[in-house]
Amino acid sequence: MLYISLRQYEYVCAIGRYGSLSSAAQHLNVSQPALSNALTRVEEQLGHPLFARRRGAAMALTPQGRSFIEEAETLLAKAARLENAAETGAGKARLRLGCFVDLAPFMLARSLRLLRAELPDVAVSYRVDNFEGLISGLIDGRIDMALTYGMSMDASFSKQTLFSSSPHALVSPEHPLAKKPQVSLRDLAAHPLILSEEGLSAQHVLGLFRRIGESPTVAHRAASLEIQRSLAAHGEGIAISYANPPAKISYDGIPLVSLPVSDSFAAEPVVLARHGTGPTDAQIAVAENALLSFRT
């Protein structure tokens, strides 16, 4: 008889991944008591603690907890593959591609076309998500590979750089910096910024300013790139984004100026990533080779 459910495995893995009940609850969209109850039941069943609880500190994995989560993530990945096989028909191969939300308008459609041309007998699906969603999807097997920026991935991921992307500053034509051919981070630091609502993206941009000893004011955190562009076009501040659509107007028809950021250290690689660093299967190898055509 099975005494631990897949849902409880999922909850415990999320606590380990995000370091706290509150953060895990937010990402899973469940209540903290539900997570706490699941963790208590799992620890009672196993007979030992999985986390060391310290007041005011993140929940640290015990050695037994680390081993448990490694095996639990493997189990969840196998369960996801079984579930997907049931959805697409027994024996039908499936490939699941992830793509970072701001890259998707530029890369997703071409990627699907390339993959379906190279793997005509494979059911190709995709998931567009933020950094944390893609990382968790790669770890638990819900996606096989992802097109994303290289930030926030540790040595447990295999990454192949496709090209380097530099940020742009988006301003209204009336902005004092609008006539410059390019701008530096120091130029931007004196003006209010419009950053992404996505946590890791905003932290990355603010980290660039910290490298030059600056701490700019953040006027807005926008839920999407187009909201960033619209706010910038209306003079609400300077939007900073690695995605740079060719259109010179916002969605609501207001002119917009895109200025390259000149600091070389601000460049960030766009990568094709998968979880694990060892050899992969033939299907993933073919898919990776197809997507390497994005290299410049």
pLDDT tens digits, one per residue of 97-125: 999 999 999 999 999 999 999 999 999 99
Chain position carrying tokens 């940020």: 167
Mean per-residue pLDDT, 24-51: 86
Question: pLDDT (tens digit, 9 = 90+) per residue, 267-276?
Answer: 999 999 998 8
Mean pLDDT of the chain: 88
Q: Give how far Cα 256 sits from Cα of 35, 238, 246, Å.
A: 46, 11, 11
Q: Picking from 24-28, 197-201, 236-240, which range would have the lowest pLDDT averaged per residue? A: 24-28
Cβ 53 vs Cβ 59: under 8 Å: yes
| 53-97 pLDDT per residue, tens | 776 666 788 888 888 888 888 787 777 766 665 554 545 678 999
Region 279-285 average pLDDT: 82
**What band does 154 get if pLDDT is binned at 50, 70 and 90?**
confident
- Region class of 238: left (phi > 0), else alpha (psi between -120 and 50), else beta: beta
pLDDT at residue number 74: 78
Least confident among 4-8, 9-13, 77-81, 138-142 = 77-81
Which pTM does this prediction carry? 0.69
264 CB-contact burial (10 Å; exposed 0-12 / middle 13-18 / buried 19+): exposed
pLDDT value at 35 more than 60: yes
Q: What sign results for the dihedral spanned by CA atoms 145, 150, 156, 159?
A: positive
Q: Are strands 238-241 and 193-196 parallel, antiparallel or unpaired?
A: parallel
Average pLDDT over residues 23-31: 82
Q: Distance (Å, rounded) from C-alpha 263 to C-alpha 276?
A: 32
Q: Which two tokens stand for residue 161?
A: 């750089």
pLDDT at res. 84 = 60
